[in-house]
Structure 1
Amino acid sequence: MPLLASLAIGVLIWFVPAPAGVPRNAWQLLAIFLSAIISIITQPLPLGAMAPLGLGAAVLTKTLTFAAVFGDPIPWLIELAFFFARGFIKTGLGSHVAYAFITTFGSSLGLGYSLVFAEALLAPAIPSVSARAGGIFLPLVKSLCEECGSRTGDDTERKLRAWLMLTCFQTSVVS
């Protein structure tokens, strides 16, 4: 039902005449975009399915060209970072890297400094803050905190988790 509702809204906007001064392609893109956003919010399918469907609709209706939709490397860089993050979590590599960090840097201050240094090293190679912070450092910090016994929901989150999350947030804002 949510999928039909979002499609109905998109089709309705598609066939409403565009306001004066708004190109027809822009109006059609608005219809596709709103339909996709409503679908993402109501979740008839997961985000990973709805976003490509919206992009595909823009290409199939000739509202945008294939190159305009899929040609920019930045969204692909962000997507790749999130794929790496998922693999990082699923394979347990995050825990192994966390143990290496804990062994090497030991204290909470050392862990914080090491994350700042790693962020500074990766910033030129991965220019997207979203990709770096959400795709690489968040899974690493979550693994670090869990391995150090600081978990959300059991009153230990203030032990180390708050410090490392705040450090990573402030570092990603600056880098």
Structure 2
Amino acid sequence: MKKLLLMLFLMSALLIAMGSSAVAFKNNMSLDEIQKMAEQGDPSAQVRLGVAYSTGTGVDADLTKALEWYQKAADQGSPQGQWNLAWLYVKGKGVEESYDKALELFQKAADQGLAAAQYDLGMMHFYGMGVARSRSNALKWFHKSADQGYQQAIGFLREQGEYTEPSAEKSEASEKAE
């Protein structure tokens, strides 16, 4: 059962990462424009270029280059760069598999509020990947992710019998804050 859940976890993350490949050419930006922005230090462009190399979108797939661009974005504090880089460590793609390094990167991205990273950090705590198993720590991160509307976290919490719909008062307070 643990292996099945872990496989579902990994497959869902892969689908999310693949789905984000379309981001590389959003807003009618050419690969050359993204490359130029990435070279000038734009972390968003660095992530987009990393995704392009990771998925082979518009370029030949090259995990070494993907790793390089994700690392540059992560070094600048980009939560998306940290999250994508963490997944290379989880899967051992272009780097030696390291749950410890993935955990560190997921933590940095989660602390900045990236819902996907909060969910993935919850999974690592739930299954004891790079950290001692802790249902309470896992639930804390799942709730943070679900509070942002992240559907995978909401679904997981429902499966665990831990999800409660946001109250009307909380929803109104969120709307007023925006």
TM-score by length of 2: 0.29
Q: Which protein shows a greater Rg? A: 1
TM-score, length basis structure 1: 0.29
